[in-house]
């Protein structure tokens, strides 16, 4: 019976759906997290009577035919990159991106990582780094005698030096944008890698064309909508139960056949 396998594909699909939803809920407080959505495609169809075939010698055409679907399969787990809320922290090294763009980070492997999480800190050498100690690109070093740090909307980093009247500019934070940010490869730790699907990174100064602005003393929160995720979770759970009922009903039908005498 095809319905046994069809129900099984439905249960597997909803299992993946629940896993994606649970990951969204688990990261509802993760800085800069972007929620994901599972997408599905129907499987191949078995043609018992092909549509458009001739049904007689006079050339009459079968208008609909008989096609039996064989279930469902996962097509993609799509990342929704819409803006999260801005949370004020008043920490001078917390930087939120308002709009498009990613911070560029030098990874220990030598690759360039990209992140929306702007919870930066200072290394022992005064470099601005991520919580894992990875240096933001281009590298910016804060002098040891700096009394305050200022980051404007365009990413210019300036410091006040004890004994100096004018602020000293020490660097400029840049943002990278992609033609298809949903195609970035998530590697954990709020970090992404460029892929062939994402397209080439375009690095520019914040507030320039196509890039967002920066907000010092703030962080971008997760864009997970908890109410929507719980609703999706209930829907996925019910769909899983219904597919299990299909398998149960198919089993009862087979049992009825095996009990025939």
Under the banding of pLDDT at 50, 70 and 90, the label for residue 164 is confident
pLDDT (tens digit per residue) in 69-102: 899 999 999 999 999 999 999 999 999 999 999 9
The pLDDT assigned to 173 comes to: 94
Residues 94 and 57 in one domain: no
- If you average pLDDT over residues 157-172, what whole number do you get? 88
Residues 63 and 177 in one domain: no
Is residue 176 predicted with pLDDT exceeding 90?
yes
Residues 179 and 210 in one domain: yes
Residues 53 and 149 in one domain: no
**CB distance 136 to 122 below 8 Å:** no
Residues 70 and 175 in one domain: no
Residues 205 and 237 in one domain: no
The pLDDT assigned to 61 comes to: 86
Residues 92 and 117 in one domain: yes
Is residue 39 predicted with pLDDT exceeding 90?
yes
Residues 129 and 216 in one domain: yes
Residues 166 and 180 in one domain: yes
- With a pLDDT cut of 70, the percent of the chain lying above it is 100
**CB distance 73 to 9 below 8 Å:** yes
Range of the domain at 35: 2-81+224-258
Residues 50 and 176 in one domain: no
pLDDT (tens digit per residue) in 96-134: 999 999 999 999 999 999 999 999 999 999 999 999 999
Residues 39 and 100 in one domain: no
The pLDDT assigned to 40 comes to: 95
Tokens of residue 10, six digits: 């439905």
Residues 185 and 123 in one domain: yes
Is residue 232 predicted with pLDDT exceeding 90?
yes
Q: What's the number of domains the chain is made of? A: 2
């Amino acid at each position: 019976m095809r319905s046994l396998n069809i129900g099984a594909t439905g249960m597997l699909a909803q299992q993946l759906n629940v896993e994606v939803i649970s990951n969204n809920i688990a990261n509802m407080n993760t800085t800069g997290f972007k929620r994901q959505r599972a997408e599905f495609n129907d499987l191949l169809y078995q043609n018992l009577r092909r549509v458009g075939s001739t049904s007689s010698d006079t050339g009459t055409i079968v208008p609909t035919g008989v096609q039996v679907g064989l279930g469902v399969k996962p097509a993609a787990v799509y990342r929704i990159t819409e803006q999260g809320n801005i949370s004020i922290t008043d920490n001078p090294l917390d930087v939120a991106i308002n709009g498009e763009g990613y911070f560029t980070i030098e990874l220990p492997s030598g690759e360039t990582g990209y992140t929306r999480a702007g919870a930066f800190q200072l290394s022992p050498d005064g470099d601005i780094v991520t919580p894992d100690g990875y240096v933001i690109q281009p590298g910016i070093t804060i002098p040891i005698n700096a009394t305050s740090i200022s980051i404007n909307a365009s990413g210019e980093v300036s410091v006040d030096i004890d004994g100096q009247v004018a602020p000293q500019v020490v660097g400029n934070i840049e943002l990278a944008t992609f033609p298809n940010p949903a195609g970035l490869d998530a590697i954990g730790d709020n970090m992404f890698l460029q892929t062939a699907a994402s397209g080439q990174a375009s690095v520019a100064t914040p507030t320039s064309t196509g890039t967002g602005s920066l907000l010092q003393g703030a962080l971008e929160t997760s864009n997970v909508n908890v109410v929507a995720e719980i609703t999706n979770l209930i829907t996925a759970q019910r769909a899983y139960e219904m597919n299990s009922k299909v398998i149960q009903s198919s089993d009862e039908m087979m049992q009825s056949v095996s009990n025939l005498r």
